Amino acid sequence: MVRILGIDPGSHKTGWGIIDAEGTRFRYVASGTITAKGKELAKRLVLIADDLDLIIGQHQPNVGAIESVFHAKNSQSALKLGHARGVALLSMSRAGLEIGEYSPTQIKQALTGAGRAQKEQVAQMVQLLLGHGGPFGLDESDGLAIAMCHGRFSGSPARKFLAAKMLEKAP
């Protein structure tokens, strides 16, 4: 079994989700949204990093996954998103996690079968596939979707980690 942390970064709201993956089965562990209020970006980034460090310490994931950069129409928004991604990558890296990065299209495809699915469709599939009563907030469900996407890709660090653990137990 592999514990996967998925992060949907944002400079105001960062969604996160943790699942246990065993083969193609997923079990819900925890999820939430880090809400960083205030005008000063640097202080919001510290809050995001501190909260992620606590979440990682509490739930002890084996691997991490994050949404990759996409092209935004507003360059200021893209820069702020890049800062939030950097903070999340730093928190996961400091904890020694291997990290997978997935585009929004890959995440939607892995969960719904359609790369252009709406956020609400992804949230419904997360709830259905995890068998969780929910409902989850959209940022929270995106964090869970990223973790599930990571668990589905056969070449992912999660699968490699599981294979290595199985080899360790072999006689």
pLDDT tens digits, one per residue of 47-79: 999 999 999 999 999 999 999 876 666 777 778
Domains for the chain: give ranges and CATH numbers: 2-169 (3.30.420.10)
Predicted local confidence at residue 166, as pLDDT: 43
pTM score, whole prediction:
0.87
- Quote the mean pLDDT of the chain: 87
Note the pLDDT tens digit of each residue in 142-153: 999 999 999 988
Among 98, 120, 139, 168, which one carries the catalytic annotation? 139
DSSP, res 136:
P
The per-residue pLDDT for 75 is: 77
8 part of the active site: yes
In contact, 18 and 4? CB cutoff 8 Å:
yes
CA distances from residue 50 to 12, 42, 146, 158, 164 in whole angstroms, order as listed: 14, 12, 21, 24, 31
Which entry of 8, 51, 140, 142 is annotated as an active-site residue?
8
67 given a catalytic annotation: yes
